[in-house]
Amino acid sequence: MTNARIDSTTLSNGVKMPWFGLGVWKVKDDGEAERTVASAIEEGYRLIDTAAAYNNETGVGAGIRNSGIARDEIFITTKIWNAHQGYESTLTAFEDSRRKLGVEVVDLLLIHWPVKDKYTETWRALEKLYRDGYVRAIGVSNFQIHHLQDVIASGEVVPMVNQVEYHPLLTQQELHSFAKSNNIQLMAWSPLMQGNLDQSILAEIGAKYGKSPAQVVLRWDLQNEVVTIPKSINPVRLKENADIFDFALTPEEVAQISALNRDHRYGPDPDNFNF
């Protein structure tokens, strides 16, 4: 395993977070999550991203415990679901997640979606958990600029991370710029466009380096300084996704991939979502 696979970004509070990890959306909690997490850790993954809404925190926790890797070497992210938002209900939901994961401290806790009239109260609860030492870092997911501005204006802590849909067809450049200017680390979900990788430029660039279109996209994420968490339950694909540290795209290639942007979402629009 190369050290590059576990290279880290440093969040605004000094906490180190791996650039690359595993997403487990839709991974079942019937042994599949436990096996997948253990396989990923064996391949060198050190960031595991789950959520209460994925219903697999128990399996994720078991996979981490059974990996043989020390807890403090694994970075665990989970999220507060929409139905649990609000101050007291967030604190309760966090305890439930912590129990299922089987950990004392969660590395990163996110608000899953910006539920109208609730997310600022939810953020207040995250700030308390952070101050009390139950989470090492706090952030948000699927927040647009105006949501971030609300939280920054009403809260005491600026979110350290914003996890959003991010890929070559949805580069979110304005949001990315706002995040950078406020020292908020952008993190990509659905980085592989749910498998819709049939763009000729990705194949052309991949052929040059002996890499797949998926590997090219994940490398593009990293060179844009975006944490990326591709999901797979296939051990071969897990290995392939992580094999992106032995080549680098040229600035021209990065720009060519970014030019694919169509503001196209495969997931919900945070401003038009039925919470």
What are the mean pLDDT values of the chain's consecutive 10-residue runs (275 residues total)? 66 98 85 90 95 93 94 97 97 98 98 96 98 98 98 97 98 98 97 94 98 98 96 90 96 98 95 80
Q: Is 54 a catalytic residue?
A: yes
16 pairs with which residues across the strands? 10
DSSP letters for 21-63? -EE-TT--TTTHHHHHHHHHHHTT--EEE--GGGT-HHHHHHH
Residues 6+ away with beta carbon under 8 Å from 53: 79, 81, 82, 112
Strand partners, 186: 162
DSSP-derived letter for residue 141 is E
Q: How far is CA 261 from CA 180, 192, 195, 256, 265, in A?
A: 19, 14, 16, 10, 10
Average pLDDT, the chain: 94
User: What pLDDT is recorded for position 5?
Assistant: 57
State phi, psi for 142 to the nearest 5 degrees.
65, 25
What's the pLDDT tens digit per position in 117-166?
999 999 999 999 999 999 999 999 999 999 999 999 999 999 999 999 99
Measure Cα distances from 228 to 66, 125, 200 in Å. 24, 26, 22
> What does the CA dihedral 22, 27, 33, 39 come to, rounded to 10 degrees?
-40
Neighbours of 251 (CB within 10 A): 9
Residue 6 confidence (pLDDT): 59
End-to-end CA distance of the chain: 42
Cα 261 to the center of its chain, rounded Å = 20
**DSSP 8-state symbol, 5:** G
Phi, psi of 236 (to 5 degrees): -65, -45
* pLDDT value of residue 2: 39
Domains and CATH numbers, the chain: 8-258 (3.20.20.100)
- Which is the catalytic residue, given 54, 119, 130, 166? 54
Please state, as a whole number, how many other Cβ atoms lie within 10 Å of the Cβ of residue 28.
14
* pLDDT more than 90, % of the chain: 89
How far apart, in whole angstroms, are the C-alpha atoms of residue 265 and residue 229?
17
